[in-house]
Structure 1
Amino acid sequence: MNSEKQKLSVLIITLNEEQHIKSLLDDIDFADEIIVVDSCSTDKTVSIVESFKNVKLIRHRFVDYTSQRNFALDQAKNSWILFIDADERLTPELKSEIVTAINSENVASAYFIYRIFMFKNSRLKFSGWQTDKIFRLFDKSKCRYNEERTVHEKLIVNGPIASLKHKIIHFSYSSYEDYKSKMYHYGILKANEKLAKGIKPSFLLQLLHPLYTLLYQFIIRFGFLDGRKGVIICYLNAYSVYIRYKELRTITSSKI
């Protein structure tokens, strides 16, 4: 590996993230390049980003998450990418580990980073989130997001994969209505993804898949140990699956 210090580009895609974006941008001062790709925010997100002189703002129309992420990748100057969402935070230990990882002799092409799911201001310990991990750090010359996936994006990695020890803190749940809206949006995108693959709507799946998701996360993944928080998260995740099939039936019916 080249002995020259590797440079890091941090990429963020945003839509109406005024609640989170300032805290995140304050938190990533260790990056060599910071790019925010905003999809037409109507709140104060853009003005907050513009107040950071070291941050490059690009406005780009949102089609789906994969397209937006791949567009952001193409804007980065550096090979090493840290993709982070506005509602995620890095610990000092994780920042240090990231710098060490990309400058290591045994560097991987991509790194999984585990996440701690925050329910408002407290940690959700179970409900399927206890093993949550995602590709966030990778060499873009060896990676690309799979264009067949429009939500819950899948990174295609050409080369070795490793995991970092320290975790991202994920402030995903701020309120019931906010999280429900997010799950609804994911469900709509998943429906269109299934439609593009030629998958037909099924009343049986519309009934059984959400029920399976609810019971699996609440019982098998120990959601009941999270108490009321677990009930809410497991229900809303199942709700997203229900919306997926409901929307698929709606779209298919309208095309007949």
Structure 2
Amino acid sequence: MRRPLSIIYTTFNEVDIIEPSLLSVAGWTDDLHVVDSFSTDGTAGLLAARSDVRLSQRKYSGPSDQKNWAIEQARHEWILLLDADEIVPPTLRSEIALLLDTPKLLDAYWIGRDNFFMGRRIHHSGWGNDRVVRLFHRDRARYNRKQVHEEIETAGLQVGHLKGRLQHYTFKSVDHFLDKTRRYARWKAMDQAATTPRIGLFHLLIKPIFRFFRQYVVQGGFRDGREGLIICTVVAYGVFLRYVYLLAERRESGK
């Protein structure tokens, strides 16, 4: 007998992108739960109007906290957790459905992601080998406490790999991409505050240059054309901005 599946989203202002993702999982589960952080763009209204969505609204204090709370609310033991900008292709959906029919499962599963930026799939630029743990047992997996690139803690878990891949449409607009870069820089500064010594040229110059070199040269960003150059440059700028935020916070607090 096939194990039932809960599908979880956490959202904030996703009205312009979430419908294709919801369409890709339509009719799959009787527990499609979306935890919204009081969106202001109509996302909550769109979700509330859907009979197949169980909508909760909860104050946002960080991605891991929001997702861990949502995991605890799942009605079924097995969970597929998605972002609003991700689509589950039919091949991946079929693979997960067949997996849930098998007698014995591991604790969690890695799923690869094909990332799309400005209308193009990005094969390199540090994004080519992207993978995330998104299918897991409710009672065995939780997210770590990182503000940026939070992940399921896999220590002590048996984790497998699926062949199918998510489609990740991470780009909405240039302004959205830059806003996201600034937001992640602020959050990353919080993550690294306790482990970062006095900030100097190494942090403000060498680390951003190294990040650009690693993603554009070593990881083949140049092979992604203009899009690769944009991604690698903005990511390097985000590293620079991370330490600017941290330096400013320390100056303001007198540290």
Length-normalised TM-score, structure 2: 0.94
Q: Tell me, yes or no, if structure 1 residue 221 matches structure 2 residue 222.
A: no
CA contact (8 A) 1:64 1:151 kept: no
User: What amino acid does structure 1 have at the position aligned with 2:105?
Assistant: V
**Which position in structure 2 is the counterpart of 1:54?**
52
**Which position in structure 1 is the counterpart of 2:11?**
14
Separation (CA, whole Å) in 1 of partners of 2:245 and 2:198: 9
Separation (CA, whole Å) in 2 of partners of 1:207 and 1:66: 30
Identity of aligned residues (%): 32
**Which position in structure 2 is the counterpart of 1:73?**
71
Separation (CA, whole Å) in 2 of partners of 1:240 and 1:37: 28
Separation (CA, whole Å) in 2 of partners of 1:121 and 1:105: 40
User: What amino acid does structure 1 have at the position aligned with 2:81?
Assistant: F
Separation (CA, whole Å) in 2 of partners of 1:252 and 1:69: 30
**Which position in structure 2 is the counterpart of 1:170?**
168
Stretch deviating more after TM superposition (117-126 or 166-175): 117-126
For the residue of structure 1 that corresponds to 2:216, the secondary structure is: helix
For the residue of structure 2 that corresponds to 1:174, the secondary structure is: coil
The 4+ residue runs of structure 1 with deviation greater than 4 A are none
Separation (CA, whole Å) in 2 of partners of 1:116 and 1:9: 23
Q: Tell me, yes or no, if structure 1 residue 194 matches structure 2 residue 212.
A: no
Q: CA deviation at 1:56?
A: 0.9
Summarize deviations over 1:198-225 as a string: whole Å, max 9, x none.
Answer: 5334122122111111110000010001
Q: CA deviation at 1:177?
A: 1.6
**Which position in structure 2 is the counterpart of 1:98?**
96
- RMSD of aligned Cα (Å): 1.3
**Which position in structure 1 is the counterpart of 2:239?**
241
Separation (CA, whole Å) in 1 of partners of 2:77 and 2:118: 35
CA contact (8 A) 1:21 1:48 kept: no
For the residue of structure 1 that corresponds to 2:153, the secondary structure is: strand
Summarize deviations over 1:148-206 as a string: whole Å, max 9, x none.
Answer: x12211211343111110110000012222111111111111111122x3533412212
CA contact (8 A) 2:207 2:239 kept: yes
For the residue of structure 2 that corresponds to 1:156, the secondary structure is: coil
The total of aligned residue pairs comes to 251
Unpaired stretches in structure 2, ≥5 consecutive residues: none
Separation (CA, whole Å) in 2 of partners of 1:207 and 1:125: 27
For the residue of structure 1 that corresponds to 2:50, the secondary structure is: coil
CA contact (8 A) 1:13 1:85 kept: yes
Q: Tell me, yes or no, if structure 1 residue 28 matches structure 2 residue 43.
A: no
Separation (CA, whole Å) in 2 of partners of 1:133 and 1:113: 5
User: What amino acid does structure 2 have at the position aligned with 1:45?
Assistant: T
CA contact (8 A) 1:201 1:252 kept: no
CA contact (8 A) 1:110 1:162 kept: yes
Length-normalised TM-score, structure 1: 0.94
The one of 181, 184, 208 aligned to 1:183: 181
Q: Tell me, yes or no, if structure 1 residue 152 matches structure 2 residue 145.
A: no
Unpaired stretches in structure 1, ≥5 consecutive residues: none
CA contact (8 A) 1:22 1:49 kept: no
CA contact (8 A) 1:38 1:60 kept: yes
For the residue of structure 2 that corresponds to 1:228, the secondary structure is: helix
Summarize deviations over 1:90-111 as a string: whole Å, max 9, x none.
Answer: 1101001111223323411111
